[in-house]
Amino acid sequence: MAGAFPRHEKSLEALRNRGRYRQLMPRDGHDFASNDYLGLAGSDVLRAAAADALARGVPVGAGGARLLRGNDAEHQLLEAEAAEFFGTEATLFMGGGFNANQAIFSALPQQGDLVLFDALIHASTHDGMRLGRAESRSFAHSDAEDAARVLKDWRAEDGEGQVWIAVEAVYSMDGDLAPLDELMALADAAGAVLVVDEAHSTGVFGDQGRGLAHNISHRPNVLSLHTCGKALGTSGALICGQKVLVETLINKARSFIYATAPSPLNAALVRAALQELRENPARREEAWEGISHAQDEAKRLCGLGGYHSQILPVVIGDDKHTMALAAHMQACGYDIRGIRPPTVPRGTARLRLSITLNTGPEVITAMFTDLAREMEAAA
């Protein structure tokens, strides 16, 4: 007997045949898959912070949206401390980076504006743009000259509104860095706002882990997003920028207005994570020692180079070959995941190696030794 949803079943079968079927997998093996770059998620630092917060009577749940009774003192303390830490006029704490990007791009750019976005920008940015009223156009990845060309063409077509330039500081699937100096110069020259998603740079890059854009985040035409579920080891997101933009989000962003507030307990944990960044630079230094070691071993053992961050992609190309290689590495005891389209462009399926403090240098060397053997066997 046919299933109740034959079109869905057919669609899933097509994904299986193309090597693009996704399924949930348990955590198993050495961590080369998470975004827990500073090893904070399971740390004694956050365990102690949770125990302290509970002892102080911090609620586990918010009980409602921030605009109802869900606005807790921990949320407001976090926002004040985060604004000081990141050097911005105001911050807004939200439940996660995905709905924060939805909020930014659905509520801030207005009808008649242009969102000029990097071709490899996060999916959440695309969703936000679809919900908004502004026009959107892409420019070639990390190419400030192409961004200037696209902007010039839009102005020549009588585009007169505000321009919002959207980029990631560190790109989540390629691990490369945005040319922020060139993009900032373009934003200044064009009267544009530079929106920097610091998701994969928070905690890792910048003075005290303030992010790749830390030296420009104070400027009135810069808006930055720091997610809390990666290097900060918790969950949520902090939108940082001018007070008028934060107030606009509070009044107009549906993913803020209608969402139950993040847990006050989680806000307390984010505060503790920011304190750890301020007071324990050794954690970040140790993380960079591991990152540098991984980059060196990738080149020495596998001939892989050109890496700039803690994210080391190994581009295979074919979806099925990528997943087979990931399965072989998992069988060797490493939690390595294959990444396929549409997360990455067609023909660029890859292993995404993430270097965190959860994995020491000996394991990193062993992993690249095994990866070199598996790649040679698959060639």
Q: Which of 79, 101, 113, 122 is catalytic?
A: 122
Among the options 30, 75, 214, 230, which is catalytic? 230
What is d(CA 87, CA 83) in angstroms, rounded to the nearest whole number?
6
Q: Which two tokens stand for residue 62?
A: 């918010």
Answer for the pair 202, 211: CB distance below 8 angstroms, yes or no.
yes
Rounded CA separation 273/292 (Å)? 23
- DSSP label of 68: I
Within 10 angstroms of residue 42's Cβ, the number of other Cβ atoms is 11
Active-site annotation holds for 122 = yes
Crossing angle of helices 123-131 and 97-107, rounded to 10°: 30
Q: Is-catalytic flag, 52?
A: no
35 is catalytic: yes
User: Is-catalytic flag, 218?
Assistant: no
Whole-angstrom distance, CA of residue 96 vs CA of residue 83: 17
Catalytic, out of 43, 99, 101, 172:
172
For residue 308, what are the CA distances in angstroms to 176, 216, 348? 6, 21, 19
Indicate which residue of 72, 79, 168, 276 is catalytic.
Answer: 168
Is 200 an annotated catalytic residue? Answer: yes
**For the chain, how long is the longest CA-to-CA vector?**
64
- The catalytic residue among 72, 118, 176, 197 is 197
End-to-end CA distance of the chain: 43
Helix, strand, or coil here: 141? coil
Burial of 104 (0-12, 13-18, 19+ CB in 10 A): buried
Query: Using an 8 Å Cβ cutoff, are 147 and 139 in contact?
Result: yes
Contact at 8 Å (CB) between 262 and 62? yes
Of the residues 30, 31, 35, 142, only one is catalytic, namely 35
Q: Does the active-site annotation cover 197?
A: yes
So which residues are the catalytic ones? 35, 122, 168, 172, 197, 200, 230
